[in-house]
Structure 1
Amino acid sequence: MVALVDANSFYTNCHQIFKPDLEGKPVIVLSNRDGNIVARSSRAKQLGIKMGQYFFETKELIDEYEVAVFSSNYELYGDISARLMSILTQFAPDVEVYSIDEAFLQLEEYTSVYPSYGGLAQAIRENVKQWLRLPVGVGIGPTKTLAKVANRLAKTNPELNGVCVLETQEAIEEALWGFPVEELWGVGGRSASKLKKQGIRTAYQLRDVNDDWIRSTMTVNGLRLVYELRGLPCKLLEVNPPPRKSICTEPGFGKVIPDLDNITDALTTHLSRICEKLRKQESLCGTVTVWLRTNPHRKTPGNGLPAKQYSNSVTVRLPHPTSSTLELVKYAESGLKSIFKFGYNYLRVGIMLTDLVPADFRQIGVFTKGPDERLIRLSQVMDKVNRRYGHDKLRMASQMYNPEWPMKQKFVSPRYTTCWEDILEVK
């Protein structure tokens, strides 16, 4: 059996852990630049606050219902997530961290201590609640897809008390009977539309569809989904997930930026961050893609007409794969200069690293040598220094000391668990 443990409203509950007075009250979390709403508590959802909604559009609701507002605090979220996953390993040795707030557990041979799978699930909930003050839902089924279905039912049906176990064929059929096909794991909007046109609206109907039709309509991934609904495991736990095939970021500036210097600074800073991730997974990058875009919603000051728009991208193939920040910045900056145009106010710059290969990959070309090993070692030393003393203690010269573009965090909460200055004081 497979269990899926999913933290409820993870971002907002990370703040409520340290502010118990917020329990049951509306809470929202804002994006990097405090521009959009990226997380909502249950009470905030009831008020009609939508995911992705602009923050300024909710000011009246926030004032009327005294909604608690927080800026994104990724350092806090990452640490709470690590603590959650550590707790889950005490219930099953094989744990796949699926996302920051979700994990799959392999449960075979580990229920002897508990009277049932339901008892194990309740023990998980109680321990996480006691040790982290974090509410979680637990879904258990014979496959990962059925565990996803069970978890969805556990979270949407209060009478289940946060736990749903699909252990028998009767329980599985009852769960799939009214489960909307568009809510299945791996079914996107386009696939859901195709299925509905054929009269397939529930997971129960999809389970019994002809294999050849599913393969031709939804490819082999759709066929695996159907097999999993039938109780045949096709998606095994990835306890040691493979390295990423690409790494990207698209930071906003918080305000529009017209000049190349500030955009170059943002590009260098964020490229340095994803280069750290590249080296952490022991990979080299062969291709860098850079793109720029303006704000499509911006109006021209004075007349209120839509501002002129521009977006462009460029892909630079490196002469050899590397993980050196210095080398990658050189190619990324040259790409940025080739697509930058004066006279526009830019909102975002994006960077993506692709063609990733293992760190021990070396291939010397006819006209080029391999990567400069000294530059790779220098970047690794920079990583060690910055991990010990803080971000950007060692940085590229093109990174400004006091740039104008960094993220707005007007409502940021303390980093209670990772920063000595922010630790809670008991009086």
Structure 2
Amino acid sequence: MFALVDAVSFYASAEKVFDPAIRSKPVVVLTNNDGCICAICPIARKFNIPKFQPYFKVKDYLAKHNVVIRSSNYELYADLSEKMMNVIGRYCDNQYVYSIDESFLQFTGFKHLIDDWHEYGHQIRSAVWRETKLPVGVGFGTTPTLAKAANHAAKKLSGYNGVAIIDTESSRKEILAKMTVTDVWGIGRRLGRKLQLMNINTALDLSNCNARDMGRLFSVLVERTISELNGIQCLSWDEIKQAKKEIFSTRSFGKRIEDRDSLVSALTAHSTIVAKKLRQQNSLTKRIVIFAASSPHEAHYYKKSFLYDFPVATADTCVLAHAVSTVLPTLFKPGIRFYRCGVGAIDLETAQFKQSDMFNTSQDKPELMVCFDKINHRFGQGTLQLASEKSTEQWQMKRHFLSPHFTSCWQDIPKIRC
């Protein structure tokens, strides 16, 4: 048996943990630079607020209904996520943290200890709420995909009250019949439109298709998804948590920038993030894309990107930063008010099977990078930086509605007066 435990509107719920005054109020959370709405709490959903709508378009509507606005507080979310995952991990013998608010569980050695899966799901929910004040949904299924479907039912379908189980043919058909095909894990909008043209509208319709035929028509992923929807396990832990094939770091600026130094600082910061993520998943990159652009809403829209190929695959921060400085004269244009920039590693390979080049020596300094990462992990990200990475207020994110860092900043630790 598998389970998926997923927080309800995690960002919005996290904002309510240390602020009881807004627990009964509608809350929405904005993306970087307070751009769009990325999280809507269940109370705010009653006002039919569209997700990912630009904030400026619905600002007056939100004010009319007294909706509480919060900027993304990533430091708080990361800390609460870790606490939540630690609680959940006590209830299984095999856990895989799938995202900041989702965790897959497997109960290989716990089966004889669990008599009632429904009751066990409520125990997990109660423990998470008691220790973190975060509401979660729990879905059980005989495959990871069915566990994901059960979690969807637990959170979004009426009658399940936070816990759903797919362990019989009747429960499988009942839940899948109530899910649209795009609600299925791994079926996106584009693929969903193609399936709907074939009169495949629900998850149950998809499960009734011939897996092998659909695999030939679309992909092996669709074939596996159909098999999993029918209770045939095809996904292993390793396949669920496979390394990313591309790694990007992009961000729009808090204020428009027009000078060369600020642009190189921003791009270097992005290259540092990309390099760190490459090392975390033990990957190297042979090619990166570096881009910068003005706002598409301004006259004379400008966007330029450049592909940079490395002679030897790398994950070294200094090597990526050097690539940025090399490309900058191609990207920078005087008079342009830059709004956004980014760096992406798009041709990855595993460091475990690195192929050396007889004619090109690697410029990487792995011992230096190990030291670099250890110091930043111990004393906080940004303790060590490249000289060209120094941030300025110009390109830092706008977070006008930021809540305190209740768990990661001494000045913001909640004070209790008795």
Same fold per TM (> 0.5)? yes
1:380 equivalent in structure 2: 370
Write out per-residue CA displacement over residues 280-303 of structure 1, whole angstroms, 9 at most, x where no aligned residue. 3333332221112221123xxxxx
Contact 1:291 1:336 in 2 (8 A): no
Contact 2:267 2:343 in 1 (8 A): yes
Deviates more, 1:237-246 or 1:46-55: 237-246
2:343 equivalent in structure 1: 351
Local SS of the residue matching 2:277:
helix
Contact 1:291 1:349 in 2 (8 A): yes
- Per-residue deviation, 1:39: 1.1
1:180 equivalent in structure 2: 180
CA distance change for structure 1 residues 134 and 239 in 2, over 3 Å: closer, same or farther? farther
1:304 equivalent in structure 2: none
2:10 equivalent in structure 1: 10
Contact 1:29 1:72 in 2 (8 A): yes
- Give the alignment's TM-score, normalised by structure 2: 0.93
2:63 pairs with 1:73: no
- Per-residue deviation, 1:401: 5.5
Where in structure 2 are the equivalents of 1:412-423 lying within 5 Å?
Answer: 412-423=402-413
1:302 equivalent in structure 2: none
CA distance in 2 between counterparts of 1:204 and 1:358 reads 38
2:359 pairs with 1:367: yes
1:149 equivalent in structure 2: 149
CA distance change for structure 1 residues 255 and 115 in 2, over 3 Å: closer, same or farther? same
Deviates more, 1:119-128 or 1:351-360: 351-360
Contact 1:106 1:237 in 2 (8 A): no
CA distance in 2 between counterparts of 1:359 and 1:410 reads 41
CA distance in 1 between counterparts of 2:72 and 2:320 reads 28
Local SS of the residue matching 1:251:
strand
Where in structure 2 are the equivalents of 1:157-306 lying within 5 Å?
Answer: 157-238=157-238, 241-298=241-298
- Per-residue deviation, 1:403: 4.4
Local SS of the residue matching 1:338:
helix
CA distance in 2 between counterparts of 1:425 and 1:410 reads 23
Contact 1:96 1:238 in 2 (8 A): no
Q: Which amino acid aligns with 1:377?
A: E
- Per-residue deviation, 1:163: 0.7
Q: Which amino acid aligns with 1:318?
A: F
2:33 equivalent in structure 1: 33
2:332 equivalent in structure 1: 340
Q: Percent sequence identity over matched residues? A: 36
2:54 equivalent in structure 1: 54
- Per-residue deviation, 1:328: 1.1
Deviates more, 1:10-19 or 1:255-264: 255-264
CA distance in 1 between counterparts of 2:317 and 2:34 reads 29
Contact 1:245 1:355 in 2 (8 A): yes
The number of equivalent residue pairs is 417
Q: 1:328 aligns with which of 310, 320, 329?
A: 320
Q: Which amino acid aligns with 1:320?
A: V
1:313 equivalent in structure 2: 305
CA distance in 2 between counterparts of 1:326 and 1:74 reads 26
- Per-residue deviation, 1:132: 0.9
- Per-residue deviation, 1:40: 1.2
Structure 1 residues without counterparts, runs of 5 or longer: 299-306
Deviates more, 1:87-96 or 1:51-60: 51-60
CA distance change for structure 1 residues 199 and 158 in 2, over 3 Å: closer, same or farther? closer
- Per-residue deviation, 1:111: 4.0
Deviates more, 1:17-26 or 1:273-282: 273-282
- Per-residue deviation, 1:69: 1.5
Structure 2 residues without counterparts, runs of 5 or longer: none
CA distance in 2 between counterparts of 1:178 and 1:363 reads 50
- Per-residue deviation, 1:212: 4.3
Q: Which amino acid aligns with 2:324?
A: A
Contact 1:5 1:137 in 2 (8 A): yes
- Per-residue deviation, 1:192: 1.8
1:303 equivalent in structure 2: none
Cα root mean square deviation, aligned: 2.1
Contact 2:141 2:167 in 1 (8 A): yes
- Per-residue deviation, 1:179: 2.3
- Give the alignment's TM-score, normalised by structure 1: 0.91
